[in-house]
Amino acid sequence: MPEPAFLEERRARALEAYEAEPVPTWRRSGFWTTSLRRLELDALEPRRYDAVDQLPQIVREHLGDEEHSGLIVQRGASIIYAHCDDPSVTVTPLEQAVEEHPELVEPWLGKRLPVDEGKFAAANAAFWTGGAFINVPKETRLEKPIQVVYLIDEPGTAQYAHTLAVIGEHAECRIREYCLAPPIDGQALHAGAFELYAAAGAQVQLAHYQDWGPGEVHDVSVKRVEVARDARVKWVPVHLGGHLTKQTLDIVTAEPGSDMRHSGLYFTERDEHLDLFTTDKHEAGHTTGDTVWKGALTGESRASYEGLIHIVPHAQETHTYLQTHQMLLSQKAKGDAIPSLIVEVDNVSASHGGTVGELDEEQIFYMQTRGIPRAEAVRVLVEGYFEEVVQRLDDPGLEALVRRRIAEKLAAAEEQVREFIGERA
Amino acid sequence: MSLEIQNLHVRIGEREILRGVDLKVERGQTHALMGPNGSGKSTLANTLMGNPNYEVTEGKILLDGEDLTEAAPDERARAGLFLAFQYPATIPGVSVANFLRMAVNARREENIKVKEFGQILGKHMELLKIERAFTSRYLNEGFSGGEKKRAEILQLAMLAPDFAVLDETDSGLDIDALRIVSDGVNAMRGDERGFLIITHYTRILSYVKPEFVHIMLDGRIVRQGGSELADELEEKGYEFVREEVAARA
Ligand SMILES: Nc1ncnc2c1ncn2[C@@H]1O[C@H](COP(=O)(O)OP(=O)(O)OP(=O)(O)O)[C@@H](O)[C@H]1O
Ligand SMILES: [Mg+2]
């Protein structure tokens, strides 16, 4: 069955943009460069798989046995599992939604994701398969979460993922998107697109959980969230693993009264490379924002976080702030955390702050004076540092998962952290 | 059985702050240490706990005869030393209750049972008139000056050390809180425990009566006496001690 005209046309435009664009290298002033030089793009392919009844083990481990309103699992290029028995909502593969409900999809698909925003955005728009479509009609309140999983489990995979979520007026829901991979031996690509539109008065708790494991998964993605009048979105992206990640995460308060809380965390290790650029964009007045991002680095990893607050002209009476912190836990890790501000209007309050630092010796000493050994003090302090963001997940199961992974990463890095911290004592 | 400080010399960077301190606190005794700002009282307290910023260049710290001069701070704590800080650190993301549990467990072979811990904590909180909600807050984060001091004393009560140094625990407490904290300290006094109370004010000393008072000046203890020395000091100020020391020299 051919795809609807609007989609064919979009793919065609995207393909043109894709072919015109070189593989980019992202540079910033200072030491920072993100390059895909090592990625052998031509050797990757969108692998196909059959649907399954039993979820793959890694998926089960991450989801636990909590009930859901809807669940979509994409492995490589194929949806292998789609389940939704809640008649009040639509949670289906995007490719299926395009056929069955084009009228629901067309007004939103790519609304804030132009096809010519770079090579990988174009690739995604041209080549996406599978995908997830979430439609929560107005005034629907969901108790159970909606979950989308993107799984890569074989080297050589190219995954072009697209999640579109449309949350109706005064609807309330929780959405979690997972990006998972077991250890794979070789390269893979996840070029993802995520868009969420929260209509007037909607309340959304959104989490992204990324753990691509120790394999060579490259993640180049764009995630964008739009918050309409009096709606509220709480968004917590969590980055716990990925060989190379280059992501753009934007949240737009688009109409008066809209409010967002945006809090993220990352923990990089080994030779991982993480490059995040977030924008809190205030397109209307009387909007509020609150952003906190925290990271920790071990091994020889590199992590760069840049967070921009952008308040456009006419967005009077906007109140927003952004803080970002980064903690170095090894001699060879290197990173930066840069808050920035574009304010094109008076009569707003916008503040920002950023720190890159190491563990505070005074805190370690204090804990030791209570009998707590140094190594344990360090562990507790790092876990405590992340706690502010972890709690913003507001989701006990996911919080426990994130805490456990942080503890595992710290345990794995214990030697080097001890060496690093010990050296300064 | 004592905490003994022998000829202690301490420097921070290039500067010698303590210049030969001798002090012995026996179990069962309460000592007060007074002295003007910058004379080295907190330096002594921090050095007792092994703060890595302070370098001991000479002298010894002995706890019941055991030399702790080189021991790590956590070893000293487990050996029975405690310091209620003048300016305690903030521990983000760790609740008062969790922190206390960790500290209690650090000195036990087996972890304390949840119920037992809850009971002990409840008892001490009642004694110190601390509200339940307090223990779920992150330790010292956003605490008022007085709340920080109370959190220190709550830790003191929970950990029941052999020797406790209180560094200006009375500063920043209102009159009622000072009374409560003093009562808490008095309840802990006994033959098995020694206290060193660092203060600028005689008010706390009228609640927690010390047997001995020491005056520190420029990194040395220059005068010692009974509790009447504190009153004399309050009346005459430090200038008179200074003059006396100068006359002696
Ligand atoms: N970490 C440090 N780095 C540099 N100098 C320090 C440090 N700690 C203390 N000092 C200096 O050592 C001297 C003694 O300070 P200390 O804090 O021990 O005094 P104190 O007697 O406790 O004073 P106060 O009554 O004001 O609490 C002061 O001159 C102080 O500036
Ligand atoms: Mg002091």
Q: What is the mean pLDDT of residues B12-25?
A: 96
- Expressed in angstroms and rounded, the spacing between residue B219 Cα and the centre of ligand 2 is 12
- Could A370 and B106 be called an inter-chain contact, meaning their C-beta atoms sit closer than 8 Å? yes
- Which residues of chain B does A369 touch, with a Cβ-Cβ cutoff of 8 Å? 49-50, 73-74, 76-77, 82-83, 85
Would you state the pLDDT for residue A357?
Answer: 85
Ligand nearest to the CA of B44: 1
Judged against a pLDDT cut of 90, whether residue A175 lies above it is answered with yes
What CA–CA distance (Å, rounded) separates B137 from A23? 49
**Which ligand 1 atom sits closest to the C-alpha of B40?**
18
- Which residues of chain B does A362 touch, with a Cβ-Cβ cutoff of 8 Å? 89
Report ipTM for this prediction: 0.96
Q: What is the 3-state secondary structure (H, E, C) of chain A?
A: CCCCHHHHHHHHHHHHHHHHCCCCEEECCCCCEEECCCCCHHHCECCCCCCCCCCCHHHHHHHCCCCCCEEEEEECCEEEEEECCCCCCEEEEHHHHHHHCHHHHCCCCCCCCCCCCCHHHHHHHHHCCCCEEEEECCCCECCCCEEEEEECCCCCEEEEEEEEEEECCCCEEEEEEEEECCCCCCEEEEEEEEEEEECCCCEEEEEEEEECCCCEEEEEEEEEEEECCCCEEEEEEEECCCCEEEEEEEEEECCCCCEEEEEEEEEECCCCEEEEEEEEEECCCCCEEEEEEEEEECCCCEEEEEEEEEECCCCCCCEEEEEEEEEECCCCCEEEEEEEEEECCCCCEEEEEEEEECCCHHHHHHHHCCCCCHHHHHHHHHHHHHHHHHHHCCCHHHHHHHHHHHHHHHHHCHHHHHHHHHHHC
> Which of A22-36, A218-232, B76-90 bottoms out in mean pLDDT, i.e. has the lowest?
A22-36
- Name the residue of chain A whose CA is nearest to B90's CA: A363
Dihedral sign from CA coordinates of B67, B73, B74, B78: positive
Judged against a pLDDT cut of 90, whether residue A418 lies above it is answered with no
Would you state the pLDDT for residue A385?
Answer: 95
Q: What is the mean pLDDT of residues A394-413?
A: 95
Judged against a pLDDT cut of 90, whether residue B134 lies above it is answered with yes
Would you state the pLDDT for residue A420?
Answer: 85
Dig out the tokens for B151 from the structure.
């959190």
The answer to whether B142 faces chain A, any CB pair under 8 Å, is: no
Nearest 5°: phi and psi at A170?
A: 55, 15
Judged against a pLDDT cut of 70, whether residue A423 lies above it is answered with no
Would you state the pLDDT for residue B154?
Answer: 96
Q: What is the pLDDT of residues A198-221, one digit of tens each?
A: 999 999 999 999 999 999 999 999
For atom 26 of ligand 1, the residue with the nearest CA is: B37
What does R_g of chain A's alpha carbons equal in angstroms?
21
Which residues are in the CB-under-5-Å shell of ion ligand 2?
B 41-42, 86
Would you state the pLDDT for residue B157?
Answer: 96
Would you state the pLDDT for residue A424?
Answer: 53
Residues 6+ away with beta carbon under 8 Å from A304: A28, A32, A34, A274, A275, A276, A335, A336, A337, A338
Q: What is the mean pLDDT of residues B58-65?
A: 97
| Contact predicate A379/A410, CB 8 Å | yes
DSSP state of B138: B
Residue A383 counted as domain residue: no
| Contact predicate A199/A233, CB 8 Å | no
Q: What is the pLDDT of residues B136-166, one digit of tens each?
A: 999 999 999 999 999 999 999 999 999 999 9
Residues counted in chain B: 249
Optimal mutation site among A327, A359, A366, interface B, most CBs of chain B within 10 A: A366
Would you state the pLDDT for residue B91?
Answer: 96
What is the number of domains present in chain A?
A: 1
- Could B159 and A381 be called an inter-chain contact, meaning their C-beta atoms sit closer than 8 Å? no
Would you state the pLDDT for residue A176?
Answer: 98
For atom 5 of ligand 1, the residue with the nearest CA is: B12
**Which ligand 1 atom sits closest to the C-alpha of B53?**
1
| Contact predicate A377/A368, CB 8 Å | yes
User: Which of A369, A381, A383 has the CB atom closest to B73's CB atom?
Assistant: A369
Mean pLDDT, chain A, integer = 95
How many angstroms separate the Cα of A271 from the Cα of each of A104, A248, A332, A333, B198? 43, 21, 10, 9, 50
Judged against a pLDDT cut of 80, whether residue B177 lies above it is answered with yes
What CA–CA distance (Å, rounded) separates A411 from A378? 11
Judged against a pLDDT cut of 90, whether residue B18 lies above it is answered with yes
| Contact predicate B10/B52, CB 8 Å | no
Q: Print the domain residue range for A176.
A: 5-255
Confidence class of residue B207 from pLDDT cuts 50, 70 and 90? very high
Residue A364 counted as domain residue: no
- Which residues of chain A does B102 touch, with a Cβ-Cβ cutoff of 8 Å? 370, 372, 376, 380
Confidence class of residue A2 from pLDDT cuts 50, 70 and 90? confident
Judged against a pLDDT cut of 90, whether residue A148 lies above it is answered with yes
Would you state the pLDDT for residue A375?
Answer: 87
Mean pLDDT, chain B, integer = 95
Residue A269 C-beta-side C-alpha neighbours within 13 Å: 21
Ligand 1 and B17: CB distance under 6 A? yes
Distance (Å) from the alpha carbon of A177 to chain B's nearest alpha carbon: 26
Would you state the pLDDT for residue B172?
Answer: 87
- Could B102 and A376 be called an inter-chain contact, meaning their C-beta atoms sit closer than 8 Å? yes
Would you state the pLDDT for residue B83?
Answer: 98
- Could A365 and B83 be called an inter-chain contact, meaning their C-beta atoms sit closer than 8 Å? no
Residue A269 counted as domain residue: no
DSSP state of B112: P
Task: Give the number of other CB atoms < 10 A from CB of residue B153.
Answer: 25
Optimal mutation site among B91, B111, B112, B139, interface A, most CBs of chain A within 10 A: B91
Q: What is the pLDDT of residues A115-146, one digit of tens each?
A: 999 999 999 999 999 999 999 999 999 999 99
The answer to whether B120 faces chain A, any CB pair under 8 Å, is: no
Ligand 1 and B39: CB distance under 6 A? yes
The CATH number corresponding to B2-86+145-248 among 3.30.465.10, 3.40.50.1100, 3.30.70.100, 3.40.50.300 equals 3.40.50.300
Would you state the pLDDT for residue A341?
Answer: 93
Q: What is the mean pLDDT of residues A365-370?
A: 97
- Could B74 and A372 be called an inter-chain contact, meaning their C-beta atoms sit closer than 8 Å? yes
